[in-house]
Amino acid sequence: MKNNTLQENKLEANVRCKDVSKIYRQGDIEVHALRRISIEIQDGSFVSLSGPSGSGKTTLLNLIGGLDRPTSGEIYLSNLRIDTLSSSELAQVRLDNIGFIFQAYNLIPVLSARENVEFVMQLQGVNAAERKERAYEILNAVGLNGLENRRPGELSGGQQQRVAVARAIVSNPEIVLADEPTANLDSKTAKNLLEIMLSMCKERKVTFIFSTHDKLVMEYAERLIKLHDGEIVSDE
């Protein structure tokens, strides 16, 4: 029953932004973080957003993930317009469709690695036995077997990021949004993480959207979108 409703809530993961602008106001100063951006991202693609610091990468990811609202413009996940939803509705959309990986401090500190991975499934209403099985499986897949019961504080930065990837993936989202997931990692660890994400992308038909400064990440990407000053300067 539960799974049925979940299935129904799933969206075709093409992301569409139409004339999206975001202006931050700090007192009298207005920062135009995004200027009338329009893009469309296809199902199952591995996309990188790059550009200099302050070009609006994080802002764009946050808007696509419904963590913030645009100042103007429209954002669609498949056919659902999300920029007008309430925060509670947005939470539900994220729960059903979107996984997040941030640069750092991704994990819930009071939960172990396995509990972190199980957390989203628990919110989704997956039963305990299945949760546990899927959690062990995915932690194994990201190379963390044996570390399941450690809390985030007892894991290295790279290990924490792998838990975050596992957690973002395990709930079968349509889209994973990753904001500089490799920024705090050395290149070997970063490469390893990217391999994992790429295989997840292919195996599970998940759309991955990255923001990154990292040349390495860009090498892996199928599509490279470059931002500058809140505008798209190239898209290949």
Ligand X SMILES: Nc1ncnc2c1ncn2[C@@H]1O[C@H](COP(=O)(O)OP(=O)(O)OP(=O)(O)O)[C@@H](O)[C@H]1O
At residue 69, the 3 state secondary structure works out as coil
The answer to whether residues 99 and 171 touch, using CB atoms and an 8 Å cutoff, is yes
The answer to whether residues 167 and 182 touch, using CB atoms and an 8 Å cutoff, is no
Q: Where are the beta strands (DSSP E) in 14-169?
A: 15-26, 29-41, 46-50, 72-77, 80-81, 98-101
- Residue 56's binding partner out of another protein, ligand X, Mg ion, none, with CB under 5 to 8 Å set by partner kind: ligand X
- 120 makes contact with another protein (CB under 8 A): yes
Q: Contact with another protein (CB under 8 A): which of 55, 62, 159, 207? A: 62
Cβ 21 to another protein shortest distance, Å: 15
CA distance 199 to 236: 22
DSSP assigned state of 88:
H
Cβ–Cβ contacts within 10 Å for residue 81, how many?
A: 13
CB nearer to another protein: give 123 or 224.
123
CA distance 175 to 205: 9
What is the footprint of ligand X within residues 114-173 (CB under 6 A)? none
Q: Contact with Mg ion (CB under 5 A): which of 50, 58, 106, 182? A: 58
Cβ 49 to ligand X shortest distance, Å: 8
Cβ 185 to ligand X shortest distance, Å: 16
Distance of CA 84 to the CA centre of its chain: 20
- 109 makes contact with another protein (CB under 8 A): yes
Stretch that binds another protein, among 11-19, 96-104, 188-196, 219-227 (CB under 8 A): 96-104
- 79 makes contact with another protein (CB under 8 A): no
Return the amino acid letter for 169: I
- Residue 31's binding partner out of ligand X, another protein, Mg ion, none, with CB under 5 to 8 Å set by partner kind: ligand X
Where does this chain bind ligand X (CB under 6 A)? 24, 26, 31, 33, 51, 53-59, 211
